[in-house]
Amino acid sequence: MRACVAWNVFLANRDDRSHSSMTLCPARLEPTFSPRPWGSFSLGPFFPEMSKLAEQIGEAWMTGSDCRFAGGPFAGRKLGEAWPAMPPEWTGTLAKRGDSFPLLVKFIFSEDKLSVQVHPDDEYATRHERAAGGRGKTEMWYAVQSRPGAEVLVGLHADITLEKFKRAIADGTAEDCLLHVPLRAGDAVFVPAGTAHTIGAGLVLCEIQQHSDITYRVYDYNRRDAKGKARELHVEKALDVIRFGPQKGGKVDPVRVRRDSITKTYYAACPYFAAEKWEFGNRIETATSPEHFELLIFLEGRGTLQWGAERTEYGPAQVWMIPAALGEYHVAPDADASPGPASGTSLLRTYVPSDLAEYSHQLREQGVSEKESSRVIHP
């Protein structure tokens, strides 16, 4: 019986040099939780153990640098430390080596609205934010839960100029310059770098983004923390990077493909990430690409991940890294995992696409027209 798939990996100039072979298996990451002034005192039922909290938690970081592996060859180690030491069989042959882990996945719990903000693109971040990692931030939100009337604000109205926006910031009406996007569970929003945005109250979002923590806040509703301190604003840099005139991104009109017993919903593909939802009630078979690792973000359902002769259990609100060279694997929902009709599994799958032309080709092979796929591909 083969335990896990083993690979001979030579790790020159690394402290992991002693590993002559490295196990390949799906590996779960433990979240870290961040307090935020707009966060929630309860993250249940998504994180049942996180109800009745002493402080407001706004973000669960699922693939932050400080998130530790719960199992596999990196068990107990932080993602930020493990990533540079991972062989190509884990990262994928096309992964950019040396940089920090490319994808940041978070769950956002907004009890109140977030600040009005913007993120720079790679070019600006490289020039002005080297100390902070030099990486811009394009992001996507998937609405996991939404209270009636919940919304996000994304992009500026067409008639908002730099001068008008400056005035609005000065008199505390910056919010009025943004476009309202009502959100229901299952909706997704694409937010390219340079797009002014904020998240409204009453949402649980899964955020998939470039691994960067550079945020320029332009307005924070004059909020004060417990010590009476306001959060820092970064108006000048924000005005440098905000896109005026025609806007990009916004609410996604996804592409849905139903085949056999699985429904795949494609939300967005850009040079930084591709994101899709898989919904299924019975065991599915899939395979990794040797070019890139993938992340599975389980939203609903319990079951087992199966590869080779191995298996492990998954559940909701878990994020698993699937190594690039794992090859074929199965995701098998438990037949009686939850009472009621919805006993299947739904997950978000995200990865760094090798090439968007290839991505478009893969959609075409599933019967998606070029016109349809152009709705979700952002070169």
Residues with a catalytic annotation lie at 217
- For residue 215, what are its two tokens? 């945020």
Of 86, 88, 91, the closest CA to residue 103 belongs to 91
Distance CA 376, CA 175 (A): 27
- For residue 141, what are its two tokens? 């939100």
DSSP single-letter state for residue 75? B
CB burial of residue 49 (10 Å; 0-12, 13-18, 19+): exposed
Q: Which amino acid is at 220?
A: D
Distance CA 327, CA 229 (A): 51
The answer to whether the CB of 284 falls within 8 A of the CB of 330 is yes
The 10 Å Cβ neighbour count of residue 346 is: 20
DSSP single-letter state for residue 63? S
Distance CA 32, CA 350 (A): 20
Of 366, 367, 365, 363, the closest CA to residue 376 belongs to 363
335 phi and psi angles, rounded to 5 deg: -65, -35
Strands 255-259 and 262-269: antiparallel
Strands 216-219 and 27-29: unpaired
